[in-house]
């Protein structure tokens, strides 16, 4: 491990590279990253980065967003097979069908989606910005995809119809492992802990929570709620980050199997290899990138 980190440091300098990581990444990847954050923070940081190369330690849609925001930079995704099963629900066919059914409704697309879906969307949001952005829209009906649980979270807090596109889109990690069953078990095991839940979790799990928010919003809530112990209702990588930020607070994932296999496909070894070879690079078709960028920029602007 030490030798890999030494090699990485050499290559980071040589390539003038910036390592941008998500809160769910492996501990050793979080430890070498220049920045670790949620999807909104990753996009904001990607927009400002002054380096020749960006390495995205996250899943494919995060690498695509970084590339669209940095068309002239080399953007590396060390493991192209690191996808997001939730994103895959948002197909072009699904979007076309719902646009036919609701021709006047804007399409608000969750960042966990393929770049082709973003190119067909009006606005791109993240879990941290979805509620704020949708609240600002004047439309009475809004198409929202692909996460049905985040769509439900927003629908409960706005005075408009939020149509899930498609009605069955969900993240398997949150749907099945951040379910009321696992949260109840975690609460029994760690009595007295506050429960923070990601809005990708099912409605019944959200109803059990003391706080609902994106991964970084949960981290902030730990500082603000001031409890001694927390269960973080999301992927287990966030607990590592929380323990680093708050060493005197007890933090637990719902279960030690609450793992996003795709996030864990990015390893130190693969990061070093990609910096050595400058491969695999993220490529996005120019016309798709142009349309997707408009929707991403609009979402970033409305999120402020």
Total site size for ligand SF4, rule CB under 6 A: 12
Total site size for ligand 13P, rule CB under 6 A: 11
> What is the rounded distance in angstroms from the CA atom of residue 94 to the CA atom of residue 254?
32
Out of 84, 183, 201, 271, the only residue in the binding site for ligand SF4 (CB under 6 A) is 84
Task: Work out how close the CB of 147 gets to ligand SF4 at its nearest, in angstroms, rounded to a whole number.
Answer: 7
Query: Does 63 contact ligand SF4 by CB under 6 A?
Result: no
Return the one option of ligand 13P, ligand SF4, none that residue 30 interacts with (CB less than 5 to 8 A, by type).
none
Contact present, 40 and 255 (Cβ < 8 Å): no
Binding mask 237-266 for ligand 13P (x = CB under 6 A): ------------------------------
Return the one option of ligand SF4, ligand 13P, none that residue 19 interacts with (CB less than 5 to 8 A, by type).
none
Out of 34, 70, 85, 227, the only residue in the binding site for ligand SF4 (CB under 6 A) is 85
> What is the rounded distance in angstroms from the CA atom of residue 140 to the CA atom of residue 68?
30
Return the one option of ligand SF4, ligand 13P, none that residue 262 interacts with (CB less than 5 to 8 A, by type).
ligand SF4
> What is the rounded distance in angstroms from the CA atom of residue 34 to the CA atom of residue 18?
6
The footprint of ligand 13P on residues 111-140 (CB under 6 A) is 112, 126-127
Query: Does 68 contact ligand SF4 by CB under 6 A?
Result: no
Return the one option of ligand SF4, ligand 13P, none that residue 85 interacts with (CB less than 5 to 8 A, by type).
ligand SF4
The footprint of ligand SF4 on residues 192-251 (CB under 6 A) is 200, 235
Q: What CA–CA distances, in Å, run from 225 to 34, 230, 252?
A: 28, 10, 16
Paired residues of 229 in beta bridges = 250
> What is the rounded distance in angstroms from the CA atom of residue 245 to the CA atom of residue 249?
9
Instruction: Compare residues 200 and 275 and give the one whose CB is closer to ligand 13P.
Output: 200
Binding mask 251-270 for ligand SF4 (x = CB under 6 A): ---------x-xx-------
Return the one option of ligand 13P, ligand SF4, none that residue 215 interacts with (CB less than 5 to 8 A, by type).
ligand 13P
Instruction: Compare residues 4 and 245 and give the one whose CB is closer to ligand 13P.
Output: 245
Query: Does 26 contact ligand SF4 by CB under 6 A?
Result: no
Task: Work out how close the CB of 171 gets to ligand SF4 at its nearest, in angstroms, rounded to a whole number.
Answer: 3
* Interaction site with ligand 13P (CB under 6 A): 23, 38-39, 112, 126-127, 171, 198, 200, 214-215
* Interaction site with ligand SF4 (CB under 6 A): 59, 84-86, 112, 171, 173, 200, 235, 260, 262-263
């Amino acid at each position: 491990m030490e030798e890999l980190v030494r090699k990485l440091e050499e290559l980071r300098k040589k390539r003038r590279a910036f390592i941008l990581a998500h809160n769910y990444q492996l501990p050793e990847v979080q430890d070498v990253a220049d920045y670790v954050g949620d999807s909104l923070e990753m996009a904001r940081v990607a927009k400002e980065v002054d380096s020749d190369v960006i390495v995205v330690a996250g899943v494919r849609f995060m690498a695509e967003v970084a590339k669209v925001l940095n068309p002239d930079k080399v953007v590396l995704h060390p493991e192209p097979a690191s996808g997001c099963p939730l994103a895959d629900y948002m197909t072009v066919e699904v979007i076309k069908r719902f646009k036919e059914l609701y021709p006047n409704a804007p399409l608000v697309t969750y960042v966990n989606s393929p770049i082709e879906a973003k190119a067909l969307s009006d606005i791109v949001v993240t879990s941290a910005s979805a509620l704020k952005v949708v609240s600002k829209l004047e439309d009475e009906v809004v198409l929202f995809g692909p996460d049905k649980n985040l769509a439900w979270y927003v629908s409960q807090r706005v005075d408009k119809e939020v149509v899930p596109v498609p009605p069955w889109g969900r993240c398997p990690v949150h749907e099945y492992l951040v379910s009321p069953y696992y949260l109840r078990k975690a609460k029994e095991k760690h009595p007295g802990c506050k429960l923070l839940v990601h809005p990708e979790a099912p409605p019944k799990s959200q109803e059990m929570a003391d706080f609902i928010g994106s991964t970084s919003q949960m981290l902030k809530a730990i500082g603000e709620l001031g409890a001694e112990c927390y269960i973080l209702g999301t992927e287990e990588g966030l607990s590592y980050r929380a323990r680093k930020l708050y060493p005197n607070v007890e933090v637990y994932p719902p279960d030690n199997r609450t793992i996003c296999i795709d996030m864990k496909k990015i390893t130190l070894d693969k990061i070093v290899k990609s910096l050595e070879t400058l491969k695999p690079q993220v490529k996005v078709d120019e016309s798709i990138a142009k349309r997707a960028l408009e929707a991403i920029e609009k979402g970033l602007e409305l999120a402020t």
